[in-house]
Chains A and B, each alone.
Chain A
Amino acid sequence: MNASKEKNILRLLENDAKLTPRQIAAMLDMSEGDVAAPIAKFEADGTILKYMAQVDWERAGEELVTALIEVKIAPQQGDGFDRIAERIYQYEEVDSVYLMSGDFDLAVYITGRSMKEIAQFVYAHLAPIDGVTATATHFILKKYKEKKCVFKQPEEQEERMLFV
């Protein structure tokens, strides 16, 4: 199978994980088997990490707090930043961890039930890690867009009666 077709399968799934192999096959003008096989391969080799729904928790009536924590670290012999990053991302409550260029080293996104809960995570777990030299916690006040999804429902234009 050519690589660009495989990438098209990934692009379609990245945008809509609910598409079935049958549907993707129709869209890409391929056979169902030719779609199912690479998907199985991608699932097995970790190219496709997971399928999940993107949820607007506020709409679901759940009050959650998300924070971006800037972490400065003193790299350790041998492992560089990776070991510290691992010690951070293993925590369940951590959403994302990125190694950054610029003024700080790791960007840690974390979601909790309250500011207090997040503060607790920072002083109880994050700050004491060997090699972490400083943290700065920024609470997210409002989510506009995440992973290409806009949180606000688009406003519908006025009803139209026209013929084109």
Chain B
Amino acid sequence: MTDYTNLLSTNVQKLKPSGIRKFFDLLENMDDAISLGIGEPDFVTPWHIRDAGIRALEKGYTKYTSNAGLTRLREEISKYLLRRFDLDYHPQDIVVTVGGSEALDMAIRALVNPGDEVIIPVPSFVCYGPITELTGGVPVYIDTKVENEFRLTAEELRSAITPRTKLLVLPYPNNPTGGIMERRDLEAIAEVLKDTNVIVLSDEIYAELTYGQDHVSIANIPGMKERTILVNGFSKSHAMTGWRMGYVCGPRPIVQQMLKIHQYAVMCSPTTSQYAAIEAMANGDCDVQRMRQSYDYRRRFLYDGLRSLGLDCFEPRGAFYMFPSIKKTGLTSEAFCEQFLLEQRVAVIPGTAFSPNGEGFVRMCYAASIDHLSKALERLEEFLKKF
């Protein structure tokens, strides 16, 4: 019998697997379970966008595109970023990627040398740390706090920066907390960074999903665009998760190096998806607005429901997650999620899946129908009776 442990990369073997799998195994055997677990839109991609993908197939556009992506698509992304976020990126400073995920992977690998530190505010999406470790870098986690609405503060950042700091990941609007960074928060971060060589990796995949105020990118802050790698994509904004379409923009010398990784790893993004994405950029603003409105209704609905059940919950202002505290139950996040699923057939994600400081919280994705959210709340009410 071959001993694979001697064959596999030690860096890969050291990576922790996702602790979520067992929940899905349990879910599979339940007929009437409600899942608020998976973080993706419940909408199907708008038809005109799907149709653009179909037309591309009908026309026989089945070959590779250029590595960086179709010129027309990068032009449309450039126009979109200017129109929506007042961000001015030349199409040549944009690379179309396989989802936002590939962009994050490329950005970290393009910058991090062994021993370099990458600052990661947590709780946040789970990929930044593992990718950093694969490159031999060192993740430095900052525990953001509910009393700060899970913002990264200038003081927290300042105390985490060392001479080895290479990169700051800025995951806002945030998954799983729904926290956002407003202009003044970003200005304070920029002030800390201005005398350092730290590059910002701004994961803005939820940029279209803010409620009550428009998203501001750190690249909008004077002096920051030159040191920011901006990641965005189509998955959350245009309900296109399965198309695997994202993009990265940044200073040309960085983007050119990232493009090498991209061309060796994936060649180019799927051609069909790129044609669909052109349609999404050119004619999809009203779809985004319609879906945002719908998420906002559900956000308020779930927030109101959780509060009336007596759970402490920070009112999320971005993305489509609610991150209530379940400390009152006395259960750990993991135990809460397991019991809630087994007894009431509702799947939510333990905060600890995102970071140790997620203990005491659970993530609920409210990209679900009002009917589902309503039933989930009824079941939660029943569940909470035993505490």
Contacts and interface: CB of A to CB of B under 8 A. Distances in A.
Interface of A: 12, 16, 19, 23, 25-29, 154, 159-164
B374 A23 contact: yes
Most buried by A among B39, B297, B301, B303: B297
Given A12-B297, A26-B304, A28-B297, A163 B370 contact: no
A34 B313 CA distance: 25
Nearest to A27: B297
A164 B39 contact: yes
A59 B21 CA distance: 36
A12 B294 CA distance: 10
Contacts of B61: none
A27 B301 contact: yes
A12 B55 CA distance: 34
Interface residues of B, number: 25
Interface string B265-296: 00000000000000000000000000000000
B24 A161 contact: yes
A97 B110 CA distance: 65
Contacts of A28: 297, 300
A16 B374 CA distance: 13
B38 A164 contact: yes
Contact of B126 (A12, A161, A163): A163
A110 to B, nearest CB: 30
Given A23-B301, A27-B298, A163 B18 contact: yes
B224 interface: no
B353 interface: yes
B24 A27 contact: no
A19 B370 contact: yes
Contacts of B371: 16
A164 B24 CA distance: 13
A2 to B, nearest CB: 16
Interface string B212-252: 00000000000000000000000000000100000000000
Contacts of B370: 16, 19, 23, 27
A163 to B, nearest CB: 4
A16 B18 CA distance: 37
A63 B136 CA distance: 68
Contact of A163 (B297, B303, B305, B353): B353
B31 interface: no
A63 to B, nearest CB: 29
Nearest to B19: A163
B20 interface: yes
Given A161-B21, A163-B126, A163-B353, A26 B300 contact: yes
